[in-house]
Amino acid sequence: MIELIPAIDIIDGKCVRLTQGDYATKKVYNEDPLEVAKMFEGNGIRRLHVVDLDGAREGRIINYRILERIATRTSLIIDFGGGLKQEDDLEIAFESGAQMVTGGSIAVKNPEMFTSWISKFGSEKIILGADAKEKKIAISGWEETTSQELIPFIKGYYDKKLAELVKPRIEKLGGDLSLVKDLPGVMALLKSREPTLQALAKAAMLFCHNNPVDSSSLPAQLKDKEDASFEAMAAFVRKAPSIEWKKENIYGLMKEIMDEQGVKVLHLAIPLRVLVTGAEKTPSIDATLELYGQERVLTRLNEGMEKWAAQRAGN
């Protein structure tokens, strides 16, 4: 079922409309927001979105008295947004009768604070707001357009929520979350592959262990290409410290080494997977290595190459 949620935008205590967020185009539709709210309620509306455009522009909650009037004189379920920058602003909004609040600018400028609000007040009380101009996020009452694109912005917060839900399941499985610097990034990589939260947690264990590095399976997997693969890996270990640790650069380095050494991608991918993660199969190796982090990858590779060299010498 689709539920209609009308919005009342407020400037100077009045119901207004802006064209494309331009305050110079302000048009007053009604002097009394309460009258409009009662009209909505009388037509069967249950929920109302109230936007404090003065607050959005000034960076502090301003029209909370209007919120209070609507909340005390109607039975509407109200979510309130505009000018919410500090936790005190949320307290004022809730005390004035809002059942939920919408964070827009704060979710862009200070995502750590916004996610802390979700943790403290609960996801049922905090709504992610995302205004957009030409597919880019607009903030501060539409007065500033950011470089962040709408869909990746929303997906990023979805992945953060997934991470919060999966954390306790990983801990129950014995995973070490201190090893993972970007758990939302792990969720983004794995979510399309795993149908449940428990399956996601199990898959995320790939990043949450610190098992000993083991090179013993490499000869059987690489067969007659072991020598070429070992040389290619040695080149990767030499060059990897000098690149910016992004998946496109990791893949670029792999491609460079493959061209130089005349090897195929699997001759690098197999030992990278085995030595870094301990698994023979992983998601795309460049994305996996990026999420492991450069220092962790190089530590495990250096240890793994020493073991592999000793193993080859023993043979």
Cite the active site residues: 9, 131
Distance CA 298, CA 276 (A): 8
Query: For 77, which DSSP code?
Result: E
Non-local CB neighbours of 158 within 8 Å, separated by 6+ positions: none
Q: Residue for token digits 């400028």? A: 109
Q: Which residues neighbour 238 within 8 Å (Cβ) at sequence distance 6 or greater?
A: none
Q: Is the Cβ–Cβ distance between 184 and 160 less than 8 Å? A: yes
User: Per the structure block, which two tokens stand in for 51?
Assistant: 């936007």
Short-list 112, 86, 109, 84, CA closest to 98 = 84
User: Between vectors from CA 103 to CA 12 and to CA 180, what angle results, nearest 5°?
Assistant: 165
DSSP structural state of residue 44 = T
Tokens for 278, please give them. 């301990």
Beta bridge partners of 137: 132
Note whether 108 and 84 are within 8 A (CB). no
State how far the Cα of 117 lies from the Cα of 212, in Å rounded to an integer. 39
Task: Measure the CA–CA gap between 37 and 241, rounded to whole angstroms.
Answer: 61
What backbone torsions phi and psi does residue 85 show, to the nearest 5 degrees?
-120, -25
Tokens representing 266 are 């699997």
Beta bridge partners of 15: 10, 30
